Amino acid sequence: MSSNSTPYASDYHVPVLVHEVLAWLAVVPGGRYVDGTLGGGGHTAAILDASAPDGLVLAIDRDPEAIAAARARLGEQAGRVIFVEGNYANATEIVAEAGFGPVDGFLVDAGISSHQIDTAERGFSFSRPGPLDMRMGRDTPSLEEYLQNATHGELAYALRTYGDIRSASRVAAAILDAFAKGSLETTADLRECAAEIVGRGAGSGRKTGIDPSTLVFQALRIAVNREIEHLELAVAAVPKVVRPGGRAVFISFHSVEDRVVKHGFRELSRQCICPPGLPICSCDHVSQVEILTSKPVMASKEELQENPRARSARLRAARVL
Ligand SMILES: C[S@@+](CC[C@H](N)C(=O)[O-])C[C@H]1O[C@@H](n2cnc3c(N)ncnc32)[C@H](O)[C@@H]1O
């Protein structure tokens, strides 16, 4: 599936906001870019085309399957890509080690790929039974290990914050109880356990129309992969990865992620970090970025018709000063 409104789509993943990414990154021939979330390689392919004939991309993904699939898909164009299995939270170190930066643009398309969700053995799928895994890469413990170590408070926090689960405390207790009894061994068990509690009215606090078991899966995935912490580090790395005048573009799919990007950019753009109430500024702090998008950029109607998954995508861009 690929059309004007969902260009660069593949069976692996349909990239969102491709035209907008190229425009906000201001991709030019010969430029150097970091794609922090290679996935199926859709955005990287678009950047390679727009930066042809000699633009370069350093492409990071924590999932080795993504790197193998994207390398195969890019064919000859892979010659203009440096592939790194790693975490975008470490973008500064990765770019420095590759002797690649500072670059003209840094893209992060946060979250999970369709291929990861659709592969039952990875344990992300709400509709396909699999093991209690949910790891995007080899750099975090699995869901099973997470549940072995999580306290009730930690699990309830994750369910409330990342899944918007109204009775997070009750859901956390039921999950930990089922896990301790050995009746929570697969994602099918997790779905059943979540659905049972949700059936008793402990579901989403908002009328989203989303099955609250989906939100339990989403919250656990974000917690297992420490997605919020990594996103915070990636936003903070922008001035070290990108050259003055270059761009950073972040796409998120969840309000918590979007808040991290919004606040992170705001923090980097602040001119003064003196405590409130000081009569004169004494911090000598300078803003490191200019925020280019006062509101998040959303998918067009045309794109939404082709790819309804794009409805929650929010893009924010900044220029390094
Ligand atoms: C939404 S997909 C990216 C899709 C990609 N833009 C495309 O066009 O196909 C997100 C990808 O980022 C990877 N990922 C998520 N968090 C990451 C992190 N902290 N560091 C590196 N890769 C990460 C996932 O493994 C997944 O492959």
User: pLDDT of the chain along its 321 residues, tens only?
Assistant: 467 888 999 999 999 999 999 999 999 999 999 999 999 999 999 999 999 999 999 999 999 999 999 999 999 999 999 999 999 999 999 999 999 989 999 999 999 999 999 999 999 998 889 999 999 999 999 999 999 999 999 999 999 999 998 889 999 999 999 999 999 999 999 999 988 886 555 555 455 566 668 899 999 999 999 999 999 999 999 999 999 999 999 999 999 999 999 999 999 999 988 988 888 898 888 999 999 999 999 999 999 999 999 999 999 999 999
d(CA 16, ligand 1 centre) in Å: 12
Q: How far apart are CA 62 and CA 137, in angstroms?
A: 5
Closest ligand 1 atom, residue 13 Cα: 9
What six digits make up the tokens of 132?
Answer: 């209690």
Closest ligand 1 atom, residue 42 Cα: 8
pTM: 0.95
Which domains are seen in the chain, by residue range? 18-114+227-320 (3.40.50.150), 141-224 (1.10.150)
d(CA 145, ligand 1 centre) in Å: 22
Closest ligand 1 atom, residue 18 Cα: 8
Closest ligand 1 atom, residue 44 Cα: 8
**For 252-309, how does the pLDDT look when each residue is reduced to its tens digit (9 = 90+)?**
999 999 999 999 999 999 998 898 888 889 888 899 999 999 999 999 999 999 999 9
Closest ligand 1 atom, residue 251 Cα: 1
d(CA 279, ligand 1 centre) in Å: 45
Residues with CB under 6 A from ligand 1: 13, 15, 36-37, 39-43, 60-63, 66, 87-89, 109, 111-113, 136, 230
Nearest CA to ligand 1 atom 5: 39
Task: Please list the residues that pair with 227 across neighbouring strands.
Answer: none
Q: How far apart are CA 117 and CA 114, in angstroms?
A: 5
Nearest CA to ligand 1 atom 2: 113
3-state SS, one letter per residue, for the chain = CCCCCCCCCCCCCCCCCHHHHHHHHCCCCCCEEEECCCCCCHHHHHHHHHCCCCCEEEEEECCHHHHHHHHHHHHHHHHHEEEEECCHHHHHHHHHHCCCCCEEEEEEECCCCHHHHHCHHHCCCCCCCCECCCCCCCCCCCHHHHHHHCCHHHHHHHHHHHHCECCHHHHHHHHHHHHHHCCCCEHHHHHHHHHHHHHCCCCECCCCCCCHHHHHHHHHHHHHCCHHHHHHHHHHHHHHHEEEEEEEEEEECCHHHHHHHHHHHHHHHCCCCCCCCCCCCCCCCCCCEEECCCCCECCCHHHHHHCHHHHHCEEEEEEEC
d(CA 202, ligand 1 centre) in Å: 31
d(CA 34, ligand 1 centre) in Å: 12
What six digits make up the tokens of 30?
Answer: 């010969």
Query: What amino acid occupies position 204?
Result: S
d(CA 183, ligand 1 centre) in Å: 32
d(CA 320, ligand 1 centre) in Å: 23
**Per-residue confidence (pLDDT) for residue 276, from 0 to 100:** 85
d(CA 194, ligand 1 centre) in Å: 27
